[in-house]
Amino acid sequence: MPDHFFVYPAYLDRSVPRSHGRRVPAASALSEVSAEEIVQAARGLGYTAEAEPERQFPPAFFTYAGRVRLTKRTGTSKTRALLEIATEVARRRGEGGRA
């Protein structure tokens, strides 16, 4: 098993429907989230995160929004990590009422 997983901005993007790749509930989703915001939020939560700006989200291969390589933490699922990151990005933006 790899010791990491990837987080694409589309996973947290409010404009992306679940059927096209969003992985968090609409209530927790964000508008126009960037890979750099995800890196900053993940690091703020204690994750080891590295941006890969040249990467593409496979269903939207024609856009280069990048992705984030996030090191797994014991006891935290990918879904839980995505929710934590979405909440942290919202908090940093001043949109604290989410998730």
pLDDT at 61: 80
**Assigned domain for 98 exists:** no
CATH number at residue 20: 3.30.56.30
Full-model pTM: 0.88
Number of domains in the chain: 1
pLDDT at 85: 97
pLDDT at 34: 95
**Assigned domain for 82 exists:** yes
Task: Give the phi and the psi of residue 30 in degrees, each rounded to 5.
Answer: -120, 160
- Which residues form the domain of 88? 4-93
**Assigned domain for 12 exists:** yes
Rounded to whole angstroms, how far apart are CA atoms 81 and 44?
Answer: 12
Task: Name the pLDDT band for 95 (thresholds 50, 70, 90).
Answer: confident
**Assigned domain for 83 exists:** yes
Task: Name the pLDDT band for 99 (thresholds 50, 70, 90).
Answer: very low
How does pLDDT run across 66-89, given as a tens digit for each residue?
999 999 988 889 999 999 999 999
**Assigned domain for 99 exists:** no
